[in-house]
Amino acid sequence: MAGPSKLRWRDALALKIREDVSAAVLSNYQLAIMMFELAWQREYVGRPLELPAKPADRSMFMAARRAMVARQVLQEDPHLPNTILRVPGHKDIDPANLMCQVDPFGHIAYLSAMAHHGLTNRLPRVLYFRTLDPSGWADAAQERMAKDLGEHLHAYLSSDLPSLRHTKLNKLGPLVVEMLRSKDAGTGWRHVGDQGLRVTTLGRTFLDMLQRPDLCGGIRHVIELFEEHAKTYLSVILPEITNHGGKMDQARAGYILEEKCGLSHPLIDEWAKGAIRGGSRRLDPQAEYVPIFSERWCISINV
């Protein structure tokens, strides 16, 4: 009895995308990985594939990309870099979710995270996105490719197929994207929902407000939000600032929690023991020093 008929590899790739991809976008790298997997497995759902005589390479990838766009399995978008393709059926996806799908190593932060957590009623016109610095991003990409490809990594790299690379976006829909790169962007966030959204934890969001008030609506807005929410979330704020904040962060937090929120706690007293005088110690790190001083916290109250 004859075996199952061969399936053309382009047809198999189209089926695989429709079956396996739930994201709103697909990068050239992700598309190439799917094509490469079909080429090395030489079958799809039990059916052998009709493949080119030569191994998968750049020309096969370009043919795959053109075919998927022509069949409307994927769509080019003039508002996205040409390394990113749209998956039909996801037009209403939130820009924050989309940004997290474009960059696998970053997350939503600062005023955008504050809005997500319900801390502020301001509607950000900027999407604040924190991702790894260039060196950290490159290392994470190499690790991801090694995980994706396993023993086939060398063959993939030798075939001139797209690598996992950082994509910079300046705008998504109505929002300007403010991308901040940091070596510690791999910590302090969590997954939310099933569309790939990553956002700073509630505790890290409060810490970020102290470190970069300029990205969080300004120091006055930060103090207002501490006054409004700190009592409710004190059990989250205290360990975050104790474990991940520096002495200056603890001084700023201690001053605001005590003097503005009227709160007390043994951990706050411990922070106060580490307060040391210094000319650069200011409540607002972006504002000039003023000669109004907190003796307990050894900081200029430059607000």
**CATH hierarchy code of domain 1-92:** 1.10.10
Place of tokens 């008030």: 213
What's the pLDDT at 279? 59
The residue type found at 150 is G
Which residue, among 95, 105, 103, 89, has the nearest Cα to 17 in the 3D structure?
89
How confident is the chain (303 residues) per 10-residue block, as mean pLDDT? 80 97 96 97 93 92 98 95 93 90 97 97 92 97 98 96 96 94 92 92 98 96 98 98 96 96 97 80 86 89 89
What's the pLDDT at 76? 96
CA distance 59 to 55: 10
What's the pLDDT at 274? 85
pTM score, two decimals? Answer: 0.91
What's the pLDDT at 91? 76
Helix (H) or strand (E) holding 90: none
For the chain, the maximum distance between any two Cα atoms, rounded to a whole number of angstroms, is 92
What tokens appear for 233 in the block? 């979330």
Domain residue limits, the chain: 1-92, 94-200, 217-300
CA distance 210 to 221: 11
